[in-house]
Structure formats: C-alpha cells, structure tokens
Amino acid sequence: MEVGNNQFCPTRSYAGLWEMVINPLIDGDHTCATLEYCPSNLSGDDVYNILINNFKRHYLKNRAPFGIHLNATWLKNNDYLKAFKKFTDELLKLPDVYFVTYREVIDWIKRPTPVLQLKKFQPWQCNKRQFAESEVACGKPNTCKLPSKVLEHDKYMITCMDCPKSYPWIRNEFGFE
C-alpha cells in the first residue's frame, strides 16, 4: 500500500517488532514529519505554538498518543529548548497526561488500563531496577552517515553495531542494499 510522500507501508508482520506511528505536525499550510523537519527559521514562540496546537489536536479530539520526536542537535537552539520546556510545563499541569517511552506505550497497548488506574499501572512505575545487559546502550556508539535511495539524500543514524551500507528502510530493514 502506498501512502503520502511515495512511501510504502509494510506488507507483513515481524514477530516482536512494533511499529509506532509518527503523526505529522501541522503548522498552517506546512506539514512536518518531526520538529527537525519544520522550517529552520522558526522562533521559540512558533515552536511552542506548533507543539501546543498539535497536542490539542490529539488531546481534544480522538486522544491518539502524541509523539514527541527530537534529537539533541535540535535542542541546542536555546529558543527551541525554552519553547519545549514551556510546552512540557503546560502538559505536566494536566492530570491525565503522561510522558512515556515507546516501551511503556506498548505495555499499555498490551494491557489497556483506565486513566483512573494508571497511577498503579506497574509498567509505568518509576522503581529502581537492574537493567539486563541487552537493555544497556553501548559505551561508544557509532554515528553513521548513510546514503538512502528512497529518501534521495544522506541520513544519519546512531547505532551500537557496525554501520550498515545504506539507511535502513522498508524492504531494506537491515541496510544491506
């Protein structure tokens, strides 16, 4: 199945692999996949408005999870960082909004829990725990600059493994081609 931007959806499932949707951010007539792909001339106020308006679009309508996808480079812009902090401060005032990881979202999907019971939802508890070796990121990751035939430009990827030959994508999940 072909979707926007000439991308193809997966046609088969992979056991243990979950796909998380990245809903686009809408800013007037402009749509961005993530904040880093929004215009680079945005002010801090612009960034705050993009975040809060898109959050409200989810929160006040179908309550679909609102993903926040950032990278460290984007946060180096002090205006953007201040806008992001202001945004998170606003959301933290809401009693039924949670900041969770993808793992925690998947745990909830596996065991849907009503909002009133989330304070006791075990996967979301902030308990100290020992991490399994497989859960610990590597000490020195590789930053890879990779060509992408599909995206038609180079992409960067950080991995604890050796860099693949090309940027992983649908039908080339491991970057072999």
pLDDT at 117 (0 to 100): 93
pLDDT at 89 (0 to 100): 97
Residue 177 CA to residue 167 CA, distance in Å, equals 9
pLDDT at 2 (0 to 100): 43
pLDDT at 47 (0 to 100): 95
Residue 70 CA to residue 109 CA, distance in Å, equals 23
Q: How far from the centroid of its chain's Cα atoms is residue 90's Cα? A: 20
The owner of tokens 């969770």 is 100
Q: How far from the centroid of its chain's Cα atoms is residue 117's Cα? A: 25
Could you report the average pLDDT of every consecutive run of 10 residues in the chain (177 residues)? Answer: 56 80 87 88 95 95 88 88 97 93 90 91 83 77 85 84 85 73
The pTM score is 0.66
